[in-house]
C-alpha cells in the first residue's frame, strides 16, 4: 500500500510538470510560428494568383467560390532542354462552384487559340478566371506522363467586364 501511494504521487508530480511546460511559451517560438504562417499564406496567394496542387479543393472566400483542380488533360509543352517548333500547351481541368450555383468544369489552357478551342480564361459567377501558370515543365526523359499527380497551377480571379454578353462563359 505504501508503494502504491509513492507511485501515485510521482505520477501526479510528473503530470504537473508536463502541464507547466505546456503553459510556458518562449517569445522565439511564438514569433517563429507567426512568421511561418505569414510565409505560407504569401506562397499560397501572391499578386492575386491562387495556387492549387493537383486534386486540391479550396473555398476561395473572397470570390465565394469552391475551386477544385482536377488535373491536366493535355500537356504538349516543349520539354526543358529540347528545341521544338511549337511551344505546346497545357490544359487544366478546373471545377468551379459558386455558393448559389451548380458546379461546372472548365478547361483552361496556357495559351489562347480559339481555332483549337484553347482558352486561357473563362467567365463564371461574375468573375473572369484565368490560368496564369502550370508547373513543373515536362522533362525530355520522362515527358508529361512522369508529372501525373505533381502538377501545380496558379489561377487569377478578376471582376467580369460589363462589355461581355450576359450568360457568356468564355472570354
pLDDT in tens, the chain (171 residues): 777 777 777 666 666 665 544 444 444 443 333 333 333 443 445 567 899 999 999 998 888 899 999 998 988 888 877 888 888 898 999 999 988 889 999 999 998 988 888 999 999 988 999 999 988 877 777 655 556 768 899 999 988 765 544 444 554
Residue 76 cell numbers, joined: 504538349
| Domain contains 36 | no
* CATH number, residue 80: 2.60.98
List, edge to edge, every strand of the sheet that includes 45-46. Answer: 45-46, 49-53, 152-159, 127-135, 121-124
Whether the upstream peptide bond of residue 60 has omega within 30° of 0, thus cis, is no
pLDDT at residue 145 in the model: 59
Nearest to 90 by CA among 105, 65, 104, 73: 73
Q: How distant, in Å, are the alpha carbons of 47, 63, 85, 96, 102 from that of 157? A: 11, 8, 32, 12, 19
| Domain contains 38 | no
Strand segments (E) across 16-112? 45-46, 49-53, 57-60, 65-75, 90-98, 104-109
| Domain contains 92 | yes
pLDDT at residue 17 in the model: 63
Q: How distant, in Å, are the alpha carbons of 146, 149, 169 from that of 13? A: 56, 50, 67
| Domain contains 10 | no
| Domain contains 31 | no
Whether the model clears a pTM of 0.85, i.e. scores above it, the answer is no
| Domain contains 95 | yes
For residue 62, what are the domain limits? 46-159
pLDDT at residue 85 in the model: 86
The total number of structural domains that make up the chain: 1
Amino acid at each position: 500500500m505504501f508503494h502504491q501511494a509513492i507511485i501515485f504521487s510521482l505520477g501526479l508530480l510528473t503530470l504537473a510538470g508536463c502541464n507547466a511546460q505546456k503553459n510556458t511559451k518562449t517569445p522565439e517560438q511564438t514569433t517563429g510560428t507567426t512568421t511561418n504562417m505569414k510565409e505560407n499564406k504569401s506562397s499560397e496567394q501572391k499578386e492575386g494568383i491562387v495556387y492549387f496542387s493537383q486534386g486540391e479543393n479550396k473555398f476561395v472566400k473572397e470570390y465565394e467560390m469552391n475551386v477544385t483542380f482536377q488535373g491536366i488533360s493535355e500537356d504538349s509543352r516543349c520539354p526543358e532542354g529540347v528545341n521544338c517548333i511549337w511551344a505546346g500547351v497545357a490544359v487544366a481541368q478546373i471545377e468551379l462552384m459558386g455558393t448559389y450555383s451548380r458546379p461546372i468544369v472548365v478547361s483552361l489552357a496556357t495559351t489562347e487559340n480559339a481555332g483549337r478551342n484553347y482558352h486561357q480564361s473563362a467567365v463564371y459567377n461574375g468573375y473572369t478566371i484565368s490560368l496564369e501558370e502550370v508547373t513543373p515543365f515536362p522533362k525530355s526523359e520522362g515527358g508529361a506522363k512522369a508529372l501525373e499527380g505533381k502538377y501545380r497551377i496558379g489561377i487569377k480571379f478578376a471582376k467580369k467586364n460589363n462589355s461581355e454578353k450576359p450568360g457568356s462563359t468564355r472570354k
